[in-house]
Structure 1
Amino acid sequence: MKITILHAQMTHDQENGYRGSVQFEAEGHKHPYEISLQLNSLRGTTWDYSLLFAKEPGSEEQINEVEAAIESDDDLFDSLIDAAAATLPDEEGEES
C-alpha cells in the first residue's frame, strides 16, 4: 500500500514513554487517516496504535484495508513510526 505522510509528531517522557501521531493518505482512498502510536518502555518494546480517519468519516471497507496493511506489512508500520520519530528533538533540543 502506497501512503503519503501529511503530518507527524512524537514526544517522549519518562512517565508516558514515546507517544506520537501520523496523518497520512493512502493511494486510492478518499479520506486521510491518523494513527496514534505509543511505546511505553516500562512495558516492553511493542508499539500500541489506534487508527482512525483524520478529518471526516469514510468507508469502513477502506479503513479495514489500511488496518490489514498495517498489521501485515512491517515496512509500512515502520515507516509510520519513523515519520513520527523523525520529529523528536535531538540531544541539543532541535528536531532531527
Structure 2
Amino acid sequence: MEVTIMDAKMTKDEESGYVGQVVFQLPGERNVYELTLQSKKARDWGYSLHFAKESGTEEELEAMEERLEEDDELFDRLVGEAMSRLQD
C-alpha cells in the first residue's frame, strides 16, 4: 500500500490510553488527511478523520472514511506509523 506519511505521533497515559495522529496522503488524492487515533490498550482503535490542510468536500471525506473501514492494510499501516513514534 503506497501512502505518504507527512507526520505521525503517539502518546500514552493512564487516563486516556494511547492517543495519536497521522497526517497522510494517498496517491491520486488531492487532499491531505489527519487521522486522530485513541485506544485504551492499543487493540481496538477509535478514530476521527478530517482534512489536514485545505477543506475538501463531504463526499471526499466520506470516501476516505469508507476506505479506512474496508482497507485493513492501510489502517494498520497508519496505526503502525503512529505507534512507531510512541513518546513515553
In 1: Cα distance, 2:23 partner to 2:12 partner? 19
Q: Per-residue deviation at 1:30?
A: 1.2
Structure 2 unaligned runs (5+)?
Answer: none
Residue type at the aligned position of 1:15: E
1:12 pairs with 2:12: yes
Name the SS of the counterpart of 1:64 in structure 2: helix
- Residues 62 and 68 of structure 1, relative CA distance in 2, 3 Å threshold: same
* Structure 2 residue aligned with 1:78: 76
- 5 Å matches for 1:4-83? 4-41=4-41, 45-83=43-81
**TM-score (norm: length of structure 1):** 0.82
Specify the code of the residue in structure 2 equivalent to 1:29: E
Q: Structure 1: how far apart are the matches of 2:86 and 2:78? A: 14
Secondary structure (helix, strand or coil) at the match of 2:86 reads coil
Q: Identity of aligned pairs, percent?
A: 44
The TM-score, its normalising length taken from structure 2, stands at 0.89
Give 1:87's aligned residue.
85
CA deviations over 1:7-56 (Å, ceiling 9, x no partner): 00000011110000000012111120000000023xx8310000000011
The structure number with the bigger radius of gyration is 1
2:8 aligned partner, one-letter code: A
